[in-house]
Amino acid sequence: MDWAGLMRAGLGGLHLLPRDFWALTPIELQMMLGLVGNEAPMGRGRLDALLEAFPDEPKDKGDG
């Protein structure tokens, strides 16, 4: 992770106070900078593909 770059962007570009910068999670900071979060939600086709690739396994009676 490019902490120096993220600090420059957060403290300099976004004008965050250091306490506010360090209180953010990396994903929150990346979202504020527009680096993530612009993806479209998963569509039905992708969900169906995941369900096919990773089907639910029936529980055994001893699983609870």
Collect all residues with Cβ–Cβ distance below 8 Å to 37 and sequence separation of at least 6: 30, 31
Per residue of the chain (64 residues), what is the pLDDT tens digit? 788 988 899 999 999 999 999 999 988 998 898 888 777 888 999 999 999 999 988 777 766 5
d(CA 14, CA 35): 13
The pTM assigned to this predicted structure is: 0.55
Query: For the chain, what are the domain ranges?
Result: 1-36
d(CA 2, CA 41): 27
